[in-house]
Structure 1
Amino acid sequence: MNRPLRVTVVTTAGILGGAELWLLSLLDATDRLDVDAVMLGEGPLDEQFRRRGVPCVTRATGRTAAAVAASAVSLARRLRASPPDVVLANGIKAACVCAPAAWLTGVRCVWAKHDYSHPRLMKFLATLTDNCVATAEGLALASRHPRAVLVPFPAPEGTALSREAAREDLVRRGVRLRDGHDERLLLTVSRLVSNKGVDDAIEALAKPGGERWRLAVVGGEAPTEPGEQSRLSKLAADLGVVNRVDFTGWIQDAWRIIPGADAVAVLTKPTPAEPYPEGFGAVALEAMRSAVPVITTPGPVADRVAEPGAAQAGIAVPPGDSTEVGLALGRLTDRDTRVAMGSVGHRLTASHPGPAECAGRLVQVLSEAARLPGAGLTGTAPVSVVTTVLNAADVIDGLLGPLVPQLVADGDEIVVVDGGSTDGTADRVEAWTSKDARIRLLRLPGSGISAGRNAGVQAAGNSLIACTDAGCYPDPDWLDRLRAAAAEPVPADLITGVYRVDGHGALAGAMSAVGYPVPEEARHPGPWTRVYCRLFGRGLDATMPTGRSVAFSRAAWQDAGGFPEHLRTSEDVLFGRAVVGAGHRAVLASSAEVRWEQRPTLRQAAAMYFRYGEGGGRSANPRLVGRDMARVLAYGTALTAVVTGPRARSVATTAFAAYVSLPLTRAVRRRHWAALPLVPVAAVVRDLAKAAGAGRGLVCRMRSDGAAADGPDADGPR
């Protein structure tokens, strides 16, 4: 019923650095993703993907703009041929390839930010990507992305080796630990690149304080700096400490052997090639959890390890200063100092999230970016479905018929609020209640939609509420999709579903194309769709729900003050804005779909839009009223242009063509050929009817406010 999320992962390189290990640990901790991968460089990551059953291709990509552009074009072809639900760009370079390719092909893109490199690209990437996950709080801020979410490197799952077992393992890997000697072990775990400061650790062994220390260098060479191990070995030989430096190569799950060390060094420093601080020190986290003190340079790692004025889990040293590293080693020669700092580190990291929690955060970001919250989940929360009816005898069976099979045996219910029907609607509902006790009828004569919904929510027995309307036809999995979205690790309090507008005849097809976006535009918006919706505001918006397909928590309903009962229309949109304004989060669930039929005649459609506009005007909501007034201004400008001259007419014609371009595209996609010539007419009727309604609503609002101000109680109770 609810398949895993299809994700294409693009990685910056094929190496096994921190960003890649972060990704692999999270993929291992979830079954909610169906992943394929594209690597922008060769390396051992390919084998790691294949061991996990992840299809992987490599497209070697250089550092030049031309190479990145070529890979973006190649990726765009791949995405167009087989579009996933979402793309995850793991790193800056991957984002530079993914962001334009995904934007052009209509695939949602999430950028994973691991470091502080290339700050000039931040605004560009933040504009083209839908969401961002950052592995440290500082990185989230540096991304400049309005929707950046923290997904840290997880704490390792499992138990590290004991000190004795870890040291035995290190000896097997070539570390020359000598029994009976008063020698301490310093550990570095990183790729062998110059900015990691391994050379500073080697030099520190020859400085005051470092005489009684041995260094174990864990990690392999990177393709970008071949020969780095030879350089480091020569440095050790030149300094006369070669007998106290051992290279183990890369170790799978190196965190397990950290307890064998007496200290861990994270000595990242600026270099011409990498002038940026460490994004987040996973090695430092792993050391602190193992109660091993950390020597580190300034940056996010030092902020956590050696916070000024607080108990410290290690020692901060200036970057590139091997003398200070030696002095730090001198301090840590004392066992009591090491134990004290280790206990602080263990305490500070005790509550750090593990792989399952971090994977849950990542999958939630990916699924919400794809507009498919709850993908891969089966929700279990009971739901109360609230619907209001008035003289709906001819359509109520069409609503309850598809809904009842979606109810679970225990807990779910349908609350039908009748506003005083005179056509037998209540009798039809009672016929359903006699067959199924999970359906309840609440009679509330004279109530409008808002009052009816509020009464239904008040009477509902569950904290998760879903709403739809008579005249809608929910898909067979509509309720399950809403329930699954509410099962996310951090569920949103407002889950905005979608609807697909049907109709009979050319006019209905034209009106539906003009007035309503389709779910596919939310999941896979092309470039013009994104631009069009931003310009004209006709896209699906999680903060502006419709009562036809929505779910929310009781707490959100209470904090929003319920549905505004003074409005006959636009009450659902204002409710959504109030929920968000109260501090609650909203998500769009593009798979929670209902069908609804467009009004069959032009007069009925115009009357409906007039009521919509009137509701917006009565609400005095700047966003709703502003859009309608902007359209009035646009039409007035166009009419002026018509009589001004040929150039102005040409500009106005081009602008109107752009305005109706997306509705025309919708009609073409639906093969509503007869509706195509009616789309411009439908657009004009819709806009003017809404604008007229908004004007009337504003006037009524001002009269109502004026009457209240002039009334006998204008100055307060007497």
Structure 2
Amino acid sequence: MNRPLRVTVVTTAGILGGAEVWLLALLDATDRLDVDAVMLGKGPLGEEFRRRGVPCVTLPTGRTGAAIVASALSLARRLRADRPDVVLANGIKAACVCALAAWCTGVRCVWAKHDYTHPRLMKLLAALIDDCVGTADGLVVASRHPRAVLVPFPAPEGTALPREAAREELVRHGARLNGHDERLLLTVSRLVFNKGVDNAIEALAQPGGERWRLAVVGGEDPTEPGEQDRLSQLATDLGVGDRVDFTGFIKDAWRIIPGADAAAVLTKPTPAMPHPEGFGAVALEAMRSAVPVITTPGPVADRVAEPGAAHAGIAVPPGDSTEVGQALRRLTDHDTRAAMGTVGHRLTASHPGPADCAGRLVQILSETARLPGAGLTGSAPVSVVTTVLDEADVIDRLLGLLAPQLVEDGDEIVVVDGGSTDDTADRVEAWAAKDARIRLLRLPGSTISAGRNAGVRAAGNALIACTDAGCYPEPDWLARLRAAAAESVPPALITGVYRADGQGALSRAMSAVGYPVPEEARHPGPWTRVYCRLFGRGLDAAMPTGRSMAFSRSAWQDAGGFPEHLHTAEDVLFGRAVVGAGHRAVLASAAEVGWEQRPTLRRTAAMYFHYGEGGGRSADPRLVGRDMARAGAYALGLAALVTGPRARFAAATAFTAYVSLPLTRAVRRHHWTAVPLVPFAAAVRDLAKAAGAGRGLAGRLRSGRATADASDKDGAS
């Protein structure tokens, strides 16, 4: 369980802008990731990766659609060969390349959104990319991704330099400060036109800027070569060249911000970059250092100058150097600067640091990869609850597989016997006599749901795991569930997986038809994704199975426990209730148990009939709807057989598509004798479930009428 998550990071360019600083800060703050990097342009970021021991390659990518597609194909070849757990696309251009490459190769992808560019692309990217993180609240909304969450730019870890030491560091990098009391304006950014450094220079020549000088911290960007020369010439032409200093790039520039009297974040719209600043790391760092901020409208200004509240700085129109000069005039006053600095420090005092932000990102990456808890070793005690009824032939194997997975202090197994007539209970008691962590509860006549609820009530731990007597947990099954629960924001429901198999061609065909395999959760190919959306047979965190799952006691209570009026489908309804109560569910594709299909066609059909019956009795629209839709499809297919050649061709094509994924599963497992039986197995499964759903709905209606009649009689009496 200590294996880190394997992540391929794709960056928009090799520069060291805010998006790249965010990424490096988070990578430095966690040991849960095994990272390799692909840069879509050359630059100093490559050296930062190499210094951290991160393998890095450059894939030069132009801005045209053809260049994006070419790079996506190259990245797809790399992903297919390396097979990482997940891809992190850092920036909009990286997202465009990764969306296609990851979708085609079956590698799940997370997009880190840092700016507001290209809003028309958002809907397409949201459809192709699995998850999204935004570095500001507005970016989360702008992504248009249904599962986008906030992972902000972290507050720097450590202490900034004292004012005098910070000014000395600026002097060492070329700033010409004439005295400790000289008022200093600071910009920290790449030297590109839209950052508005020219407006800060122009402000020095405006009324209010006469007593200020400017230190420009940051290097040139490959996309705008010669920008420093342009800015330097502008300062000379305005007669303020002796008050403008270019320091170049300064590593950990946040440490020298206390040397300034104000910081400027003057991003302005341009035809190429018409959108506001994304998250404003410089503003955050200045506010934490109690330095007031001059900024243009947008998310940064919203934080610096909140309406109706004390301000941590001054908002100015974009591109308006006159207003920047007026802001400098106000900030000439020491008391004004001190008051704004105090507000800024208060507003940012609780901002999360690198460890917290890295924890959020890693949790999202691992959950996207369907490997929650990757790189963690959980320590929470677990109560394993299983229900049994005449399971003498398998109970010893189950307990023999579970007992070695228990930790000495706190773990337990609660076996609830529903009234076995064989020696199941005696066998459990024999285990309990040897191991005090194993307990038996006798509950004759109880259903699976009632037995599980009784086991949870009797359990001594807040984290509950469930499996069934006919399952074979993998040696790390419990450790995987425990690790997933150890995330910084623990999920309330952890849906594990199972691998169904059987003996004989028909059982294996039934297995291929009825059950997705864990690999499809981790690396779903394009057709697997489309198939699951069309036909609804994918693994879903909100629809767990009692064979492999874990949940918190509070989630169980909020969901009202397992529905005891159902004999089947109770686990799925329980999961839906947990999510419906506002709790979060995750899919743990490595928490795996084995499970063997029924040995005969009759028993298999009966099993599916009871599954459908449970869904019908629940009256859950999703469960009933999909069973009835499949029954309707078979009816249309039969009608097509007598309609004409075109209808028969359409029906045959649709049915071939329907069984394509089960056929692929059988082929991948080399179950060649099962392949020709897959269409028959699909029909048996679907029609048995549909018949069961119909019976379940009818039974529910009869029960409802009986209850209503009884109520009427009570009312009449």
TM range (shorter): over 0.9
Q: Structure 2 CA distance, aligned partners of 1:167 and 1:82?
A: 47
2:208 alignment partner in structure 1: 209
1:41 alignment partner in structure 2: 41
Is the Cα–Cα contact under 8 Å of residues 115 and 280 in structure 1 kept in the other structure? yes
Q: CA deviation at 1:228?
A: 0.3
Matched, 1:498 2:497: yes
2:327 alignment partner in structure 1: 328
Q: Deviations over 1:585-617 (max 9, x none)?
A: 000000000000000111110000000000000
Q: Structure 2 CA distance, aligned partners of 1:68 and 1:574?
A: 44
Q: Deviations over 1:95-140 (max 9, x none)?
A: 0000010000000000000000000100010000000000000000
1:277 alignment partner in structure 2: 276
1:84 alignment partner in structure 2: 84
Is the Cα–Cα contact under 8 Å of residues 497 and 549 in structure 1 kept in the other structure? yes
Is the Cα–Cα contact under 8 Å of residues 296 and 302 in structure 1 kept in the other structure? yes
**Letter aligned with residue 597 of structure 2:** Q
**Letter aligned with residue 253 of structure 2:** A
Counting only pairs closer than 5 Å after superposition, residues 453-472 of structure 1 correspond to structure 2 as 453-472=452-471
1:424 alignment partner in structure 2: 423
1:224 alignment partner in structure 2: 223
Q: CA deviation at 1:502?
A: 1.6
Q: Structure 2 CA distance, aligned partners of 1:349 and 1:280?
A: 13
Is the Cα–Cα contact under 8 Å of residues 297 and 319 in structure 1 kept in the other structure? yes
2:618 alignment partner in structure 1: 619
Which region of structure 1 is more displaced relative to structure 2, 81-90 or 707-716?
707-716
Q: Deviations over 1:150-174 (max 9, x none)?
A: 0000000001000010011111111
1:404 alignment partner in structure 2: 403
1:194 alignment partner in structure 2: 193
TM-score w.r.t. the length of structure 2 is 0.99
Secondary structure of the equivalent of 1:546?
coil
Secondary structure of the equivalent of 1:146?
coil
Q: Structure 1 CA distance, aligned partners of 2:496 and 2:584?
A: 14
Secondary structure of the equivalent of 2:551?
strand
Please tell me the root mean square deviation across aligned C-alpha atoms, in Å: 0.9
1:631 alignment partner in structure 2: 630
Matched, 1:476 2:485: no
Secondary structure of the equivalent of 1:358?
helix
Q: Deviations over 1:18-68 (max 9, x none)?
A: 000000000000000000000000000000000000000001100011111
1:386 alignment partner in structure 2: 385
Secondary structure of the equivalent of 1:465?
strand
Q: Structure 2 CA distance, aligned partners of 1:59 and 1:647?
A: 48
Q: Structure 2 CA distance, aligned partners of 1:277 and 1:714?
A: 69
Q: Deviations over 1:250-303 (max 9, x none)?
A: 000000000000000000000112111000000000000000000000000000
Q: Structure 2 CA distance, aligned partners of 1:555 and 1:463?
A: 8
Counting only pairs closer than 5 Å after superposition, residues 539-618 of structure 1 correspond to structure 2 as 539-618=538-617
The 1:524–1:714 alpha-carbon spacing in structure 2 relative to 1, beyond 3 Å, is farther
Q: Structure 2 CA distance, aligned partners of 1:317 and 1:31?
A: 42
Q: CA deviation at 1:183?
A: 2.5
**Letter aligned with residue 411 of structure 1:** G
Q: Structure 2 CA distance, aligned partners of 1:224 and 1:500?
A: 51
Q: Structure 1 CA distance, aligned partners of 2:133 and 2:713?
A: 52
Is the Cα–Cα contact under 8 Å of residues 217 and 245 in structure 1 kept in the other structure? yes
**Letter aligned with residue 378 of structure 1:** T
2:53 alignment partner in structure 1: 53
Counting only pairs closer than 5 Å after superposition, residues 112-511 of structure 1 correspond to structure 2 as 112-179=112-179, 183-511=182-510
Q: CA deviation at 1:179?
A: 2.1
Q: Deviations over 1:166-215 (max 9, x none)?
A: 011111111111127x5200000000000000000000000011000000
2:650 alignment partner in structure 1: 651
**Letter aligned with residue 499 of structure 1:** Y
**Letter aligned with residue 405 of structure 1:** P
1:105 alignment partner in structure 2: 105
Counting only pairs closer than 5 Å after superposition, residues 526-537 of structure 1 correspond to structure 2 as 526-537=525-536
Is the Cα–Cα contact under 8 Å of residues 14 and 43 in structure 1 kept in the other structure? yes
TM-score w.r.t. the length of structure 1 is 0.99
2:71 alignment partner in structure 1: 71
Secondary structure of the equivalent of 1:596?
strand
Q: Structure 1 CA distance, aligned partners of 2:441 and 2:57?
A: 59
Q: Structure 2 CA distance, aligned partners of 1:528 and 1:625?
A: 25
Percent identity of paired positions between Structure 1 and Structure 2: 84
Is the Cα–Cα contact under 8 Å of residues 708 and 714 in structure 1 kept in the other structure? no
Q: Structure 2 CA distance, aligned partners of 1:524 and 1:34?
A: 18
2:679 alignment partner in structure 1: 680
Q: Structure 2 CA distance, aligned partners of 1:53 and 1:569?
A: 52
Is the Cα–Cα contact under 8 Å of residues 559 and 582 in structure 1 kept in the other structure? yes
Q: Structure 1 CA distance, aligned partners of 2:367 and 2:711?
A: 51
Q: Structure 1 CA distance, aligned partners of 2:534 and 2:205?
A: 65
1:22 alignment partner in structure 2: 22
Q: Which runs of 5+ in 2 are unaligned?
A: none
Q: CA deviation at 1:716?
A: 6.7
Q: Deviations over 1:562-586 (max 9, x none)?
A: 0000000000000000000000000
Q: Structure 1 CA distance, aligned partners of 2:43 and 2:544?
A: 47
Q: CA deviation at 1:560?
A: 0.3
Q: CA deviation at 1:2?
A: 3.5
**Letter aligned with residue 330 of structure 2:** R
**Letter aligned with residue 158 of structure 1:** G
Is the Cα–Cα contact under 8 Å of residues 110 and 129 in structure 1 kept in the other structure? yes
Q: How many residues align?
A: 717
**Letter aligned with residue 586 of structure 1:** A
Q: Structure 2 CA distance, aligned partners of 1:332 and 1:119?
A: 36
Q: CA deviation at 1:712?
A: 4.1
Query: Post-superposition, which runs of at least 4 consecutive aligned residues in structure 1 deviate over 2 A?
Result: 712-718
Is the Cα–Cα contact under 8 Å of residues 69 and 97 in structure 1 kept in the other structure? yes
Q: Deviations over 1:681-700 (max 9, x none)?
A: 00000000000000000000
Is the Cα–Cα contact under 8 Å of residues 2 and 481 in structure 1 kept in the other structure? no
Q: Structure 2 CA distance, aligned partners of 1:528 and 1:179?
A: 68
**Letter aligned with residue 414 of structure 1:** I
**Letter aligned with residue 494 of structure 1:** L
**Letter aligned with residue 186 of structure 1:** L
**Letter aligned with residue 343 of structure 2:** V
**Letter aligned with residue 286 of structure 2:** A
Q: Structure 2 CA distance, aligned partners of 1:536 and 1:584?
A: 26
Q: Which runs of 5+ in 1 are unaligned?
A: none
Q: Deviations over 1:368-411 (max 9, x none)?
A: 00000000000000000000000001000111101000000101
Is the Cα–Cα contact under 8 Å of residues 155 and 285 in structure 1 kept in the other structure? yes
Secondary structure of the equivalent of 2:642?
helix
Secondary structure of the equivalent of 1:644?
coil
Q: Structure 2 CA distance, aligned partners of 1:310 and 1:717?
A: 64
Is the Cα–Cα contact under 8 Å of residues 26 and 359 in structure 1 kept in the other structure? yes
**Letter aligned with residue 112 of structure 2:** A
Q: Deviations over 1:507-536 (max 9, x none)?
A: 111000000000000000000000000111
Q: Structure 1 CA distance, aligned partners of 2:110 and 2:172?
A: 42
**Letter aligned with residue 94 of structure 1:** A
Q: Deviations over 1:329-354 (max 9, x none)?
A: 00000000000000000000000000
Q: CA deviation at 1:672?
A: 0.1
Q: Structure 2 CA distance, aligned partners of 1:398 and 1:202?
A: 77
The 1:57–1:427 alpha-carbon spacing in structure 2 relative to 1, beyond 3 Å, is same
Q: Structure 2 CA distance, aligned partners of 1:31 and 1:130?
A: 23
Q: Structure 1 CA distance, aligned partners of 2:547 and 2:577?
A: 18
Q: Deviations over 1:477-502 (max 9, x none)?
A: 00000000000111110000000012
Q: CA deviation at 1:308?
A: 1.3
Q: Deviations over 1:206-249 (max 9, x none)?
A: 00110000000000000110000000001000100000000000
